[in-house]
Amino acid sequence: MGKMYASYEAMLSLYAELVLDESVRKYKEKTLYHEIDAALAKRDEKRFLFLTNELRLLKKTYEMIS
């Protein structure tokens, strides 16, 4: 029974890590979209380009993981 419990704990830990990673990704993405909107409103082209590149990299990273 101990081995089965250890496997169960490992699965729960993995699931918790996946949920946390997804939450962090969504938060970062939401924050980047908000900052991109602010850069557009201020007509800050340099900031806009930097932020859109960050968003592109974030999406590319998570596409490779999935």
The predicted model gives 28-55 an average pLDDT of 98
Q: Per residue, what are the HEC states of the chain? A: CHHHHHHHHHHHHHHHHHHHHHHHHHHHHHHHHHHHHHHHHCCCHHHHHHHHHHHHHHHHHHHHHC
Q: Is pTM, for the whole model, over 0.85? A: no
* Per-residue pLDDT at 66: 66
Percent of the chain scored above 90 by pLDDT? 74
Higher per-residue pLDDT: 17 or 63: 17
The predicted model gives 19-35 an average pLDDT of 96
Q: Residue 25 pLDDT > 80, yes or no?
A: yes
How high does pLDDT run on average in the chain?
91
